[in-house]
Amino acid sequence: MRIATWNINSITARLPRLLAWLESSGPDVVCLQEIKCTAEQFPHEELRALGYEAAVQATGRWNGVAVLSRVGLADVVHGLPGAPRYEDVEEPRALAATCGPVRVWSVYVPNGREVDHPHFAYKLQWLEALTAAAAGDAAGERPFAVMGDYNVAPADEDVWDIAVFEGATHVTPAERAALAALRGVGLTDVVPRPLKYDHPFTYWDYRQLAFPKNRGMRIDLVYGNAPFAKAVSDAYVDREERKGKGASDHAPVVVDLELSAD
């Protein structure tokens, strides 16, 4: 069984690439983030033609998450239970579903903007709500993973130059402590570091030739419980999908599991 997570950065803009990637990579389940469309605009028909059904949590041009599956889609939870609101809005940042033998959360953690910005406090509160929501499934016997764009680099080596990030979000002790609390409910990072290269980054800014210079960050993560982690046979960042015209600024993270999709 193959599952993946990908911040697509607009499913409308990236649809041809997504469809081609689904055909070439053959994932059974894909968690998408930053789809940037309404639920009504989501391309269900195009995905259905490739054998995928989709659950969508989206309200417009910002944020939005989805789960694509060709092995079933059940027990869908739209939104994060107990999530804080930002400027009196509950943003569409989380969706859970059971896909065959696996349960997943597709999450798009708030950016935080700046350390002294209200969005940063919101980010920490959101991660606290995610930890509470994930605890039950994490402790269960069913393979379970929280996958997505966490907007946090877990360690200094997960950014291209930690000195550049001094005083900035994504690397603060508070954010990393929030990730540690999430792992503390029984989840582990199932994508090893290093992989087949020294820095398995998942995000590179569009500006200043960041991708050719490999000035990236590892912020797209797959945190799985013990049954999920035990089933992992391979994991990789698909850097090829970050190349070329019209690419997202994130690359897919792919995990292969020794599980039957039936």
User: Active-site positions?
Assistant: 108, 149, 250
Cα gap 247→29, rounded to integer Å: 20
Residue 215 near residue 202 (C-beta atoms within 8 A): no
What is the spatial distance between Cα 175 and Cα 120, in angstroms, rounded to a whole number? 9
- Helix, strand or coil for residue 88? coil
**Beta partners for 253?**
5, 237
Alpha carbon distance 56, 12 (integer Å): 14
64 close to 92: Cβ distance less than 8 angstroms = yes
Strand pairing report for 188-189 and 220-224 = antiparallel
Residues 28 and 36: their CA atoms lie apart, in Å, by 23
Using CB atoms within 10 Å of the CB of residue 17, give its burial: 0 to 12 exposed, 13 to 18 middle, 19+ buried: middle
Cα–Cα dist 110/91, whole Å: 9
- Residue 98 CA to residue 176 CA, distance in Å, equals 28
151 in a labelled binding site: yes
34 marked as part of a ligand binding site: yes
250 carries a ligand binding annotation: yes
**Does 9 carry a binding-site annotation?**
no
- Binding-site residue set for Mg(2+): 7, 34, 149, 151, 249-250
- Binding-site residue set: 7, 34, 149, 151, 249-250
